[in-house]
A and B are shown apart, each in its own frame.
Chain A
């Protein structure tokens, strides 16, 4: 098996006296989707920020391609090929698709001080990149990003990362705010990115979405990895139970049941 692109060994992060992440070890390989599961407050966002250069780890080491590395700022991480796509796409709602695709790296034509932003080229490349990922509904690069659906915005952001040569794609809850159909769309694009050999880190608390695309799973509970397993090693129920902090879903159901049971006379039972 190929060496991992990104590897975290015994990484911890604390803010003053508060330990947010404790002894995290993770690795992700090219063409593999690592799903990071965890309830709200489990430390998922902090972990992403460590990997994308927003925060520095308090202890432990980060390796890229087998060599120790560190990302002093988001720019440095991006230059090494780590792209982060946030829940709302991190895009600019009132800019056109072409313009927002090329923010910071605008294609130009002309010479000297008269270098002019090349709208046609930008639009053509942006539309092509998005279509290659399977979003065929985007055909006009002049459309404003804010007019796209949530799923399309996510796809645009992923297409942008892929186009600019990302090797590790960190997706922060890309499906959380989406409907079923839109989420399916995004999951298909995650699969497409994986097929192209990107290492994908997919953060979610929706077990269904994780199981649809994941090869490797890590469950985060209160800042520590509670479980680390590969595809097919655990059932959906087991994963859900893990995320709920060990308290099994069955217990939870029983608890709710009994709460209803106590005032059975007043409340009609929901069948």
Chain B
């Protein structure tokens, strides 16, 4: 993290991730109280960490796109597309796993590239562009899968790649948790330490001014879409390897879940504000709520209610913290 200058409570309150941190503590305490010791036990933790890891790997690049003022919902079908590509190549055709992995990542990159180019070439909002590719890719995945394999679900057995992409550590923790940690560190560096991060914030703040300041906004936009596409494909292929099979329709839930994680994590929907650490906390919060409900005596259907309330609460809280950050002056009495 690009450290904050003073560690006073005031300075902490002005950081974009404060709201999500408080939210996480609140839901954690709530589920520990109602879910008993199981929830916080290693096995319990694994259940929400595994969910958080898969979601988190896509949520971070989605968050960066939102900070830059764009949106990508096509990930909802890039995930199953990556999954199916990997399974068809390395499962159905039995080619080496690295070809399947490479092809899935390449597919994600190409879809991201198409998204990016369409967004910068046409003035169509990225929500609409990626809504289009969401459906197009979903249709293509289904069409090709049935055409090639005659089914919508393909088995894949690649024991040699499991340790890296789809194994359980200590029997319960998915290896994707480490990929998520790695991704979080990488993106933290990009957003908070490298000059590129400054460009991303500037693009979300005011795209025209950013371009006038000499930032290659178009290239950056395309790059961010490519990254989110590849991250989604990565999640897809690691799911296929983990579960030894791929389905054509496993990923739509990621669209809203990633947006919720990002917004709960303190990213401003209109861009220009947010942090990777906040997105990580937002993802954890989401995972804790969606899994924690199973540890309580409540009907699991209530989880969505909690998530909805949480989202609204988080947005209101983040607005308050952002205002505090804006009105901050080092000395009193100045207006």
Contact = CB atoms under 8 A, between A and B. Distances in A.
- Chain B interface SS verdict (over half): loop
B10 to A, nearest CB: 12
B205 A93 contact: yes
12 contacts: A92-B205, A100-B202, A103-B213, A104-B202, A104-B214, A106-B195, A117-B194, A117-B197, A139-B331, A144-B328, A146-B326, A147-B329
A66 B253 CA distance: 64
B325 A104 contact: no
A201 to B, nearest CB: 17
Contacts of B268: 94
Given A143-B329, A147-B326, A149-B335, A92 B209 contact: yes
Nearest to B6: A142
Contact of A143 (B201, B212, B330): B330
B194 A115 contact: yes
B327 interface: yes
Contacts of B198: 95, 99, 102-103, 106, 117
B94 interface: no
Given A103-B213, A149-B335, A94 B330 contact: no
A94 B322 contact: yes
Interface in B180-200: 193-195, 197-199
A116 to B, nearest CB: 5
Nearest to B322: A94
B110 interface: no
Interface string B19-36: 000000000000000000
Interface in A96-114: 99-100, 102-106, 108
Contacts of B194: 115-117
- Chain A contact-residue range equals 20 to 34
Interface residues of B, number: 33
B210 interface: yes
A95 B272 contact: yes
Nearest to B268: A94
B301 interface: no
Interface of B: 2, 4-5, 193-195, 197-199, 201-202, 205-206, 209-215, 268, 272-273, 322, 325-331, 334-335
Interface in A34-60: none
Given A94-B272, A143-B330, A74 B212 contact: yes
9 smallest CB-CB distances across A and B, nearest first, come from: A92-B205, A106-B195, A104-B213, A104-B214, A94-B273, A140-B330, A94-B272, A146-B326, A90-B209
Interface in A135-159: 137, 139-140, 142-144, 146-147, 149
A92 B198 CA distance: 11
Given A75-B212, A105-B214, A117-B197, A95 B328 contact: no
A119 interface: yes
A78 interface: yes
A105 B213 CA distance: 8
B9 to A, nearest CB: 16
A92 B5 CA distance: 21
A191 interface: no
Contacts of B201: 92, 94-95, 99
A117 B195 contact: yes
Contacts of A115: 194-195
Nearest to B270: A94
B40 to A, nearest CB: 36
B331 to A, nearest CB: 8
Contacts of B326: 93-94, 144, 146-147
B333 to A, nearest CB: 11
A103 B327 contact: no
B195 to A, nearest CB: 4
B5 A142 contact: yes
B272 A103 contact: no
Contacts of A103: 198-199, 202, 209-210, 213, 215
Contacts of B273: 94
A95 B334 contact: no
Nearest to A123: B5
A143 B195 CA distance: 19
A87 interface: no
A271 B138 CA distance: 75
B214 A75 contact: yes
A108 B193 CA distance: 9
A116 B197 CA distance: 10
A91 B210 CA distance: 9
Contacts of A92: 201-202, 205-206, 209-210, 272
Given A92-B209, A100-B202, A139-B331, 10 more contacts: A92-B210, A93-B326, A95-B201, A95-B202, A99-B198, A104-B215, A117-B194, A117-B197, A143-B329, A144-B328
